[in-house]
Amino acid sequence: MDANYNRIAGQSLQRLAGLSDGLFAVAMTLLVLDLRVPVLASVHGERDLGQAMVALAPRLLMYLMSFATLGIFWIGQQTQLNHLHRGDRELAWIHLGFLFAVSLMPFSTTLIAEFLAYRTALLLYWGNILLLGALLYAGWKHAGHAGLVRSDITADLACAVERRILIAQGLYAISAALCVIDTRLSIAMILLVQANYILAPRVFGLDRL
Amino acid sequence: MDANYNRIAGQSLQRLAGLSDGLFAVAMTLLVLDLRVPVLASVHGERDLGQAMVALAPRLLMYLMSFATLGIFWIGQQTQLNHLHRGDRELAWIHLGFLFAVSLMPFSTTLIAEFLAYRTALLLYWGNILLLGALLYAGWKHAGHAGLVRSDITADLACAVERRILIAQGLYAISAALCVIDTRLSIAMILLVQANYILAPRVFGLDRL
Amino acid sequence: MDANYNRIAGQSLQRLAGLSDGLFAVAMTLLVLDLRVPVLASVHGERDLGQAMVALAPRLLMYLMSFATLGIFWIGQQTQLNHLHRGDRELAWIHLGFLFAVSLMPFSTTLIAEFLAYRTALLLYWGNILLLGALLYAGWKHAGHAGLVRSDITADLACAVERRILIAQGLYAISAALCVIDTRLSIAMILLVQANYILAPRVFGLDRL
Amino acid sequence: MDANYNRIAGQSLQRLAGLSDGLFAVAMTLLVLDLRVPVLASVHGERDLGQAMVALAPRLLMYLMSFATLGIFWIGQQTQLNHLHRGDRELAWIHLGFLFAVSLMPFSTTLIAEFLAYRTALLLYWGNILLLGALLYAGWKHAGHAGLVRSDITADLACAVERRILIAQGLYAISAALCVIDTRLSIAMILLVQANYILAPRVFGLDRL
């Protein structure tokens, strides 16, 4: 009879899902704290307020981009966990690392919104996305090796999950590389990649990327 | 055997409910961060503090209005999800869009509380409500087309859900239109509409709107 | 066949529990944002930092008091919901009102921590507790009338729940009334009442209050 | 027939898990609010921004340490709750005390990040960890005495849970004691202890600590 603590620790998929939903919810809402209402004294009429709102648009776009990023990874993590029949301590820690990367997203977003034209900001933002992808991938690989995957999941399906992460990260890496030309080109490309994953248009096989 | 990632992604209604509860909870609590305790040095007696508290009343009313708005839409979303037997990727994204609109609510509320007499602020606040309603409606329509609705839901009930959203949005639009006279008239009307939906009085058929 | 939206809306006790757990969690954590680390430049040695920490003690005590208040009402609400077999729209709105009072708690706590000697602050803090109690009581009464209570709950048990809320509110009212002598006396009495409810000592029938 | 409120209050393990997941999620995300993006006006080129990011590294390390601490205790609490078949009012209050200690973690983290070389800060940080461990231990002891533990849990397993907490707290106490030499030595040792618990390497019996 083996009473090793590590064999019994952190096995609840439900608690992992609960913590993840909470952390994603907080991170998604904290993004918007970045949107600041103009100072009352600086506004002298509807025109001033309208202009202040228009000036917020680029920041709102960055916020929307990060909300979409978090949405894509929330769906990705949910899909992974839905396909497991149990968890273990290692899986819990890989996903805690993943949630750490989620909690950094409000910082990365403020950074890129403030320093739109800086490659340093863009590459750190991309680093955050890369970390999310790498840990999601590691979670799926570990689940496969440790026998956590539900028995009704075919090898084809398991490959589809893996392939999705790798292609998405490839597209994000290409987007980031475009910053040698212009950081705004990188951002535009990231937005296009996200729009594709959200809308999954059934043309040219785009929904199969 | 088709192993398309998009067919298996984001199907958990429970995770969607978990994320939604978390995000609504954070947004509802962030509203109040707007309520500021007066600076200690500016208060020289009970009278000063009492006056400072009375001065906070309009802001508290705006906060209450937004809490009620979020409550109405939380009940609306819950009612929709309770009537589905499964989810899909498209439904998840429509609801993520809906949650994006929820996360904007603290910003819209601060804006209208700070710029009470500005039509720009009022119309943006209304735009936020409109976005919430439009996405909730889109979610229900999609659920109908994609066969996600539980089989025990009658066509009458499905229509009642749809009708409720459309009439509510109609009343909000009329409220917003009143800002051509005075923005405070719009706010009063929004508060009346909300009181009606919360109290659902059984007179004049008001509970059937 | 009656397709009234209000008959089918907001019935999920699980979603209500989910929203409540989220909102209590956020409110409980926001309390601590009030605890400020001293400014680096103002600290010139261990002694300075030690003194700054000691100076934070009264604020920490107020925070602990509010955490205890929220804990008592979280247990109270949980106990109520555990005894229901289903929810309805009215119950959802009573509990949303209750959660509104929860979301005001960080504000009331900052207020009383900042204006410890002011009756205005103390009475508003008490008003917040009263609102929590009144809405919890209203929820239980409504559940009884609307037939939401589980059938295995005896009349004795139903009375015990009701009695607990009334006695607790009586003790809080007495505590608040003590502010005619000194607000610090009120706070000390509130802390005693809370300690009694948390520890439930089995002497002098104190655990039966 | 005994209708004592205290016998029926706070028994839901699911609600306790829900509140805990929410509170851990908020505390984990609030840590990062401490990471500040540099002021736009102070940055005149990629080099400035790069240096500002490098300057944030020690703070990021402290944040990572606290995220790991919270992760370790989240897994510890989950493992405890997974092994219970029901809760009671006392267990709920012990865990509310535990969650209070969780909610203090963002404050303790900011304190140690700001005053890295101060023993006062280090000892308060350690005090926070000690409080977490003591309450988790108290919860497990109470569960044993009150018959809340699942019947399939062997005495060996129960001991393993207890032993894990005691050894971990011993290692944390040794780490804290090292501050008589240098606070940075304490921090390095805490990071090593955490790395060991996260990675659980199967060499020298380290995974059995």
Put simply, the answer to whether A99 touches D28 (Cβ < 8 Å) is: yes
Interface of A with C (CB under 8 A): 22, 25-26
ipTM of the modeled complex: 0.92
B71/C4 Cβ within 8 A: no
| B97-129 as b/e: b if 16+ CB within 10 A | bbbbbbbbbbbbbbbbbbbeebbbbbbbbbebb
User: What's the pLDDT at A2?
Assistant: 46
Using CB atoms, which residue from D22, D79, D159 is nearest to A22? Answer: D22
C201: pLDDT confidence band, cut at 50, 70 and 90?
confident
* pLDDT, tens digit (0-9, with 9 covering 90-100), for A138-155: 999 999 999 999 988 888
**pLDDT, position A50:** 94
Q: Could you give the percent of chain B with pLDDT greater than 70?
A: 94
* Cβ-proximal residues to B197 (8 Å cutoff; 6+ apart), any chain: B72, B168, B209
Question: Per-residue pLDDT for A95 more than 90?
Answer: yes
- Nearest residue of chain B to residue C28 (CA atoms): B29
pLDDT band of B2, cuts 50, 70, 90: very low
Identify all chain C residues contacting A26, using CB atoms and an 8 Å cutoff: 26
pLDDT digits (tens, 9 = 90+) for A154-178: 888 888 889 999 999 999 999 999 9
Flag whether pLDDT at B86 surpasses 60. yes
Q: Determine contact, residues D13/D84, Cβ cutoff 8 Å.
A: yes
Closest to C194 (Cα-Cα) out of A86, D96, A87: D96
Of C6, C19, C121, the CB nearest to B25: C19
* Nearest residue to C72 via CA among C200, C206, C181, C189: C200
Is the distance from CB of D208 to CB of A4 less than 8 angstroms?
yes
Distance CA B198, CA D206 (A): 59
Query: D53, A123 in Cβ contact below 8 A?
Result: no
Largest CA distance in chain A: 77
Contact criterion met (CB below 8 Å) for B96 and B89 = no
pLDDT digits (tens, 9 = 90+) for C21-61: 999 999 999 988 878 888 888 899 999 999 999 999 989 99
Which chains does chain B touch, 3 or more C-beta pairs < 8 A?
A, C, D
Q: CB neighbours of B90 closer than 8 A, spacing ≥ 6?
A: B142, B146
* Mean pLDDT, all residues of chain B: 91
Distance CA B103, CA B85 (A): 27
D106 to chain B, minimum CA–CA distance in Å? 17
What value does the mean pLDDT take over residues D109-133?
A: 95
Contact B184, C28 (CB under 8 A): no
Average pLDDT, integer, range B174-197: 94
**This prediction's pTM:** 0.94
Strand partners, C149: C84
In this complex, which of C10, C22, C119 lies closest to B46 when CB atoms are compared?
C119
Other C-beta atoms closer than 10 Å to the C-beta of B188 total: 13
Q: Mutate one of B37, B56, B153 to test the C interface: name it (highest C CB count within 10 A).
A: B37
The CA distance from C110 to D183, in Å, is 33
Residue C196 C-alpha from the chain's centroid: 15
pLDDT recorded at residue B120: 95
Alpha-carbon distance B64 to B56, whole Å? 12
Rounded alpha-carbon distances, angstroms, from residue B9 to A89, A161, C53, D51: 24, 9, 50, 41
Taken in order A59, A61, A64, A66, the sign of the CA dihedral is negative
Cβ count within 10 A of residue C75: 22
- Choice between C97 and A39, residue whose per-residue pLDDT is larger: C97
Rounded Cα distance between D23 and D89, Å, is 19
Strands in chain B per DSSP E: none
**What is the predicted pLDDT for the residue at D189?**
95
**CA A121 vs CA A187, A188, D31: distances in Å:** 11, 15, 21
Per-residue pLDDT, B127: 97
B126-174 pLDDT tens trace? 999 999 999 999 999 999 999 999 988 888 888 888 999 999 999 999 9
Locate the DSSP E strands across B35-108: none
Q: How confident is the model at residue A191 (pLDDT cuts 50, 70, 90)?
A: very high
What would the two tokens of residue D160 be?
């393993």
User: CA of D116, closest CA in chain C: separation in Å?
Assistant: 11
Compute the nearest-CA separation of A116 from chain B (Å): 22
Query: Please, where are the H alpha helices in chain D?
Result: 5-8, 13-31, 46-55, 57-82, 89-114, 119-145, 155-177, 183-199
Identity of the residue in C31, C75, C163 whose CB atom sits nearest the CB atom of D10: C75
C189 pLDDT exceeds 80? yes
In tens, the pLDDT along D58-116 reads 899 999 999 999 999 999 999 999 999 999 999 999 999 999 999 999 999 999 999 99
Mean pLDDT value across chain C: 91
Cβ atoms of C21 and D22 closer than 8 Å: yes
D1-48 pLDDT tens trace? 345 677 777 788 999 999 999 999 999 999 888 788 888 888 999 999
- The verdict on a CB contact (< 8 Å) between C53 and D18 is no
Residue type, A157: L
Q: Does residue B52 register a pLDDT over 70?
A: yes
Give B30-47 pLDDT, tens digit per residue.
988 878 888 888 899 999
Touching C: which chains, 3+ CB pairs < 8 A? A, B, D
Report, as an integer, the average pLDDT of A83-94: 93
Contact A154 B26 (CB under 8 A): no
pLDDT for the residue A1 = 36
**Residue C140: closest CA among C99, C83, C89, C96:** C83
Question: Radius of gyration over alpha carbons of chain B, in Å?
Answer: 20
User: Which amino acid does the sequence have at D73?
Assistant: F
Confidence of residue A36 (pLDDT cuts 50, 70, 90): confident
Which residues sit opposite B84 in a β-bridge? B149
- Name the residue of chain B whose CA is nearest to D29's CA: B26
Q: What digits encode the pLDDT tens for the residues C10-19?
A: 788 999 999 9
Q: What is the mean pLDDT of residues C117-141?
A: 96
pLDDT value for B131: 97
Q: Number of CB pairs < 8 Å for B and D?
A: 4
Distance CA D22, CA B26 (A): 10
Q: Which amino acid is at C122?
A: L
> Rounded mean pLDDT of B98-124?
95
Question: Is the pLDDT assigned to residue C173 strictly greater than 60?
Answer: yes
> In the prediction, which pLDDT does C205 show?
67
List beta partners, residue C84.
Answer: C149
Annotate D35-83 with DSSP letters as a single string: S-PPPGGG--SHHHHHHHHHHTHHHHHHHHHHHHHHHHHHHHHHHHHHT
Cβ–Cβ gap C28/D99 under 8 Å: yes
pLDDT of residue A32: 84
| CB contact at 8 A, D194 and D205 | no
Of B10, B27, B120, the CB nearest to A29: B27
Structure confidence at residue B160 (pLDDT): 87
* Least Cα separation, residue D71 to chain B (angstroms): 19
pLDDT at position A208, please? 66
Over the stretch A100-131, which tens digit does the pLDDT of each residue have?
999 999 999 999 999 999 999 999 999 999 99
Q: Which residues of D touch B26 (CB under 8 A)?
A: 26
Residue C104: which of B32, B76, B163 has the nearest Cβ?
B32
Question: For position A205, what pLDDT does the model report?
Answer: 67
Q: Encoding tokens for residue A200?
A: 């999954």
**Chain C: residue nearest B157 by CA?**
C3
pLDDT band at B204 (very low <50, low <70, confident <90, very high): low
Q: Is the pLDDT of residue A5 over 80?
A: no
User: A: neighbours with 3+ CB pairs under 8 Å?
Assistant: B, C, D
Q: Residue A46 and residue B6: Cβ atoms within 8 Å?
A: no
Per-residue pLDDT, D11: 82
- Band (B1; pLDDT cuts 50, 70, 90): very low
User: What pLDDT shows up at residue C64?
Assistant: 93
